[in-house]
Structure 1
Amino acid sequence: MTTLRAGLIGLGAMGRNHARVLAGLDGVRLVGVVDPAGDPGRSAQGVPVLAATRDLLALGVDYAVVACPTALHEEVGLELAAAGVSALIEKPLAHSAEAARVLVAAFEANGLVAGVGHIERYNPALQNLRARLEEGELGELFQVSTRRQGPFPHRIADVGVIKDLATHDIDLTSWVTGLSYGSVSARTVSKSGRPHEDMVAIVGQLTGGVMCSHLVNWLSPLKERSTVVTGERGCFVADTLTADLTYYANGARDTEWEALRAFRGVSEGDMVRYAIAKREPLLVEHERFRDAVLGLPSDIVTLRQGLETVEVATAVLESAMTGNTMSVPLRDRIFAGR
């Protein structure tokens, strides 16, 4: 395997994990890290810590991982694209839909491999769930409901909970179902004294009429990461903290209990918790991106998919500000239907 020279931009909480994975990734050599604050936590894995992206480019890299604050993604990404360097950009792709479109155009114009770090796609529970939905195990889909809550992460200062956390749920919902968002309605609150929202409740409709709902916040002492997909044959529950996937089947047995026989809805059936292999999602994400840079068949989150997620998040913010249900722009649709 060809050894690729990789760089990392940003040594924050996520950047430190990227450095760890890159340092041990087969076929890749981490050659430098960019962070103006240096490396007080000694997380750079022994490579040079540089002050600016141009210093990293001077070392000669095949690709870079962009893990700096979201507000800087456009500037850093354009610098990499202009230098002919492929990039894996942490989610969200950019701070605005306009900036995201600029990044898509820049990398596509230069014929470069570029992806977005929507890490939940590589969670074993969601990977298994998506495969089962593709096989039609639930039959017709009715609803996707997610809950993503926990304490406030003090490292996040440039965006609110919608663009930082809810973009996980927006992307994974489209990805596991193969459906795009048609409309969204949202309400937010801000209780932490920051200029951005720290709680959001979203109700949406996907193409084909499938409903979705997302509860996301930084205000709960309970850390929860749950995805529930309900269909005509039952529901799947994915816990992405533990990477467990459980199936709850609709009951199929007749009953002599008159009160239950009169109920025309579903009844409780078998429950199955699947035994699935549990590899680290971040490692899988890096392996897929490495293979894409090498020109091998690989499944990465494209910039156009990242753009679609940012456009949905933008519609969510606008709905929260105006109190109106917002349609999601039809351009650049990736998830057109199952």
Structure 2
Amino acid sequence: MKASKLRAGLIGVGAMGRNHARVLGALDGVDLVGVVDPAGDPGGAARGVPVVPTVSDLLALGVDYAVVACPTGLHETVGLELAEAGVHALIEKPLADTVEGARRLVEAFESRGLVAGVGHIERFNPALQSLRSRLEAGELGDVFQVVTRRQGPFPHRIADVGVVKDLATHDIDLTSWVTGQDYLSVSAHTVSKSGRVHEDMVAVVAQLSQGAMANHLVNWLSPLKERSTVVTGDKGTFVADTLTADLTFYANGMVDTEWEALRAFRGVSEGDMIRFAIPKREPLLVEHERFRDAVEGKDAGIVTLRQGLRTVEVSAAVLDSASQGRTIRIAADGV
């Protein structure tokens, strides 16, 4: 006899919550049984699933796990309520808006033996998954530098945090994940050009634990939408475009050109360029499948709360560096 389906709830049906509702509504082995949003569901994202105003109303419906897609400032309160009720949770990134809040969430879920993860969706992007596997296999040799660019128009859905916590947390998490290196220090500069309280542009230079350098350029001010990760090492350069999930490798050439003028112009010798054919499944669907499997007791490779906490710690160090005008060292157990 087939086991009964997991009962899932969703908290928040804003821009990201609507996507979660779509995936949860069709996810094998899962029934979406309730949605929480005090503003209701004017867009119809719940598709007939009961919409209730509070988390306690959702808990009354009976859920095995919940997806937290409300504003970042509410993650801690909502997460603690779920943990207290013994409900597993997938919490959208960033885990919390403060380091202290993130630590409280880690303690709440770990102390109760609950499954909890953070929605760092870039880990499930096909291009970055392929990149990580290739780096682990040594295809690049020593990693020298990771450069990310994440820019686009201002998202009016975001009001409670700036570009560091909303967008740069993607790059912090993915950089540490694909390289297997932790952040040791950050130096950052931020500006606010849109008249909001929070920053809307950041430039970061970071040192990683095995000697690599990281650079992050993130903003909400560009009409060009760009999501790129460039990793350079002693065997060449990988370029991942996470908008299109394409991965390209530019090899350092093994044959020097005999044309002296051209060699002087080009500098480093050029080699083959390879664009990899990668199966392209939707990252959000893969993220949900992994979390469902983790709730069922399988080794699914989700983003843990402790990993999410580390990203919050690094993002806090970025903001501290920008406000203090100095490089911030990051301790192994946080800033």
Give the TM-score range, shorter chain.
over 0.9
Where does structure 1 lack aligned partners over 5 or more consecutive residues? 334-338
Q: Which amino acid aligns with 2:99?
A: A
CA-atom RMSD, angstroms?
1.4
Structure 1 pair 150–262 and aligned structure 2 pair: CA distance change class (3 A): closer
Q: Is 1:23 aligned to 2:25, yes or no?
A: yes
CA contact 2:263–2:269 (8 Å) conserved in 1: no
- C-alpha separation in 1, matches of 2:221 and 2:96: 24
Matched residue type, 2:180: G
Aligned position for 2:51:
49
Kindly state the Cα deviation for residue 259 of structure 1 after the two structures are TM-superposed. Answer: 4.3
Is contact 1:311-1:329 (8 Å) kept?
Answer: no
C-alpha distance after superposition, 1:237-282 (max 9, x if no partner)? 0000000000000111132223466799621111010011000000
1:70 equivalent in structure 2 = 72
Q: Does 1:293 align with 2:295?
A: yes
What is the rounded CA distance, in whole Å, between the counterparts of 2:269 and 2:256 in structure 1? 10
8 A Cα contact 1:91 1:118, kept in partner: yes
For 2:260 and 2:110, how far apart are their aligned partners in 1? Answer: 63
Secondary structure of residue in 1 paired with 2:284: helix
Name which of 82, 85, 88 aligns with 2:84: 82
The residue that corresponds to 1:149 in the other structure is 151
Does the aligned pair in 2 maintain the 1:126–1:240 contact within 8 Å? yes
1:53, 1:76 within 8 Å by CA — same for their partners in 2? yes
Describe the SS at the equivalent of 1:316: helix
Quote the Cα distance in structure 2 between the aligned partners of 1:301 and 1:71: 20
Q: CA deviation at 1:28?
A: 0.2
TM-score, scaled to structure 1? 0.96
User: Which residue does the alignment assign to 1:126?
Assistant: 128
Identity across matched positions, percent: 77
Shift of 1:149: 0.1
| Cα distance between partner residues in 2 of 1:55 and 1:104 | 24
Q: Distance in 2 between matches of 1:18 and 1:123?
A: 16
Q: Equivalents in 1 of 2:168, 2:223: separation in Å?
A: 18
Aligned to 1:313: 315
- Letter aligned with residue 127 of structure 1: Q
| Residue 116 (structure 1) aligned with residue 118 (structure 2) | yes
Query: Hey, what's the Cα distance between the residues in 2 that align with 1:95 and 1:54?
Result: 22
1:167 and 2:149 equivalent?
no
| Native 8 Å contact 2:256 2:269 kept in 1 | no
CA contact (8 A) 1:304 1:332 kept: no
Question: Contact 2:151 / 2:224 at 8 angstroms: preserved in 1?
Answer: yes
**8 Å CA contact 2:38, 2:53 repeated in 1:** yes
Distance change >3 Å, CA 49–CA 262, structure 1 → 2: closer
Aligned residues: 333
Deviation, 1:332, is 6.6
Deviation at 1:45, TM superposition (A): 2.0
